[in-house]
Amino acid sequence: MMKNKKISMKNFKIPMLGRPKNDSPLIQFTKLFIDENRRISFLRHTNEIGDCISSNKFLPSFECAGPRKKIFFNPKQINCGIVTCGGLCPGINNVIRAIVYESYEVYGVRKVYGFRYGYKGIVKENNILPVLLDTEMVNDIHKKGGTILGSSRGPQDVGKIVDYLNTLGISILFAIGGDGTLRGAADIVTEISKRGLDVSLIGIPKTIDNDISFIEKTFGFETAVEESMRVIQSAHVESKGAENGIGLVKLMGRDSGFIAAQATLANTDVNFCLVPEFQFRLEGKNGLLAMLENRLRRRKHAVIVVAEGAGQNLITKKQRKDASGNIIHEDIGIFLKNKITEYFKQKNFPFSTKYIDPSYVIRSQPANACDSQFCLQMGQNAVHAGMSGRTNMLIGYWNQHYTHVPISLAISERKKIVPESTLWQTTLSVTEQGKHR
């Protein structure tokens, strides 16, 4: 799902604040500690691993996440902070809850501050007071969608952020967010290093699009696919309820179409799946409109799923960017609806289009069972990593294991669907467009 670019041991190295000297409080009730030599292979296939071994090349691998016997910080002497940035995603509250419980109940830290409205809340001059979190406050938040801390986009003055962290005595900052959040986190780490401070920054990747590299999946993604499948089912019912009915569903996916593709496979009533990774044509014999007409003449109904970032090449407008520097995509759903309407009206062909955009409804959902369990372990492993003195990293998931991923590696490229992947080839095989390649 990503380019296999040249990588070295340096790319996988996790920075440390210093040598861990303190005994972990977990020694009292568990024997499950991670050996520092235990690593998770980045390569998946035996032929790739064999080639590395036979040619004495570096075998790329991640540190394994989990508790260490020796930790860097004395938990009873430190404060922690949590910040949530970017768009909403199922499971954010679950991660907050896991961090708070692990910090207080397992490690016994002094305080856990919750910074409100993203990085904006870590600049004292913005006058947004942090929340002092405790276990009672977060006890039921995992049952709700959104984030109790609020969120925002866009960069802030990293010097002022580090000033405020220092003022509050924050030793570990947990940053929950996507690509933009992680880039901001890397800048904060740079400023911390310049000042020679012992402050750890641990990222928990949050992107509903599942588009962060070197991570198999991010929390909220499975919930999004599950909710999207229900919407597609409704679109299918609507399409069959009218002569030449068309169910058009726009799903999340700014630059990567994983939700659209996996929701299509979860509900094989989809006839056309359009994602940002692959351009498509509207006009011509094998264009979308002609293929849609052919489908309607044969079966009298059709379902189209389109990711929000798909087909942007067809919409000629001046490029705009949001506060995080992301390109603001034009509304491909409305664009397609209008083009479909124009096409069939010109042909005097009877049709009925039902357009559904459930994006914000899905983003605000509570996490499902799978994501809830995933969020718990992401939060717990983030605390373990911070206490051990690691920094400038995020918690990942690879080959069925939780891992430590350097932020620089995670933001080096965006994860996208590749043409030869099983995911995309299967998507093509179950949709109408696969017959016209």
Summarize pLDDT for 126-170 with one digit per residue, the tens. Answer: 999 999 999 999 999 999 999 999 999 889 999 999 999 999 999
213 contacts 409 by C-beta, under 8 angstroms: yes
- On whether the 9-218+367-410 domain is CATH 3.40.50.450, my answer is yes
The per-residue pLDDT for 10 is: 73
- What CA dihedral angle connects 379, 383, 388 and 391, to 10 degrees? 70
The per-residue pLDDT for 373 is: 98
Confidence of residue 56 (pLDDT cuts 50, 70, 90): confident
* Of residues 174, 228, 229, the one with CA closest to residue 199: 174
Choosing from 179, 209, 255, 371, which is the catalytic residue?
A: 209
Average the pLDDT over 224-243 and give the result. Answer: 96
Summarize pLDDT for 90-108 with one digit per residue, the tens. Answer: 999 999 999 999 999 999 9
* Of residues 187, 16, 171, the one with CA closest to residue 109: 171
Q: How big is the CA angle at 178 (ends 106 and 311), to the nearest 5 degrees?
A: 150
The per-residue pLDDT for 319 is: 72
For the ranges 2-11, 25-34, 63-72, 205-214, the lowest mean pLDDT is seen at 2-11
The per-residue pLDDT for 48 is: 80
pLDDT > 50? residue 1: no
Summarize pLDDT for 350-389 with one digit per residue, the tens. Answer: 999 999 999 999 999 999 999 999 999 999 999 999 999 9
The per-residue pLDDT for 78 is: 98
Confidence of residue 330 (pLDDT cuts 50, 70, 90): confident
Beta bridge partners of 353: 246
Distance between CA atoms of residues 59 and 340, nearest Å? 51
Average the pLDDT over 279-291 and give the result. Answer: 94
Confidence of residue 2 (pLDDT cuts 50, 70, 90): very low
Q: Which class is 222-364 in CATH?
A: alpha beta
124 contacts 160 by C-beta, under 8 angstroms: yes
Each domain of the chain, given as residue ranges in start order, spans 9-218+367-410, 222-364
Task: Verify whether residue 357 is a known catalytic residue.
Answer: no
Higher pLDDT, 8 or 171: 171
The per-residue pLDDT for 57 is: 73
Average the pLDDT over 211-238 and give the result. Answer: 96
Distance between CA atoms of residues 245 and 350, nearest Å? 9
Beta bridge partners of 131: 114
* Burial (Cβ within 10 Å: 0-12, 13-18, ≥19) of residue 53: exposed
* Of residues 407, 404, 390, the one with CA closest to residue 198: 390
User: How much of the chain exceeds pLDDT 70, in percent?
Assistant: 95
The per-residue pLDDT for 437 is: 46
The per-residue pLDDT for 181 is: 95
Distance between CA atoms of residues 415 and 183, nearest Å? 16
40 contacts 398 by C-beta, under 8 angstroms: yes
User: How much of the chain exceeds pLDDT 90, in percent?
Assistant: 85
Average the pLDDT over 301-323 and give the result. Answer: 87
Same fold, 9-218+367-410 and 222-364: yes
235 contacts 357 by C-beta, under 8 angstroms: no
Confidence of residue 324 (pLDDT cuts 50, 70, 90): low
Per-residue b or e along 296-327, where b marks 16 or more CB atoms closer than 10 Å to that residue's CB: beeeebbbbbbbbbbbbebeeeeeeeeebebe
Average the pLDDT over 49-62 and give the result. Answer: 81
Distance between CA atoms of residues 81 and 153, nearest Å? 18
- Phi, psi torsion values for 120, nearest 5 degrees: -55, -35
Average the pLDDT over 63-76 and give the result. Answer: 97
* Of residues 221, 218, 309, 304, the one with CA closest to residue 259: 221
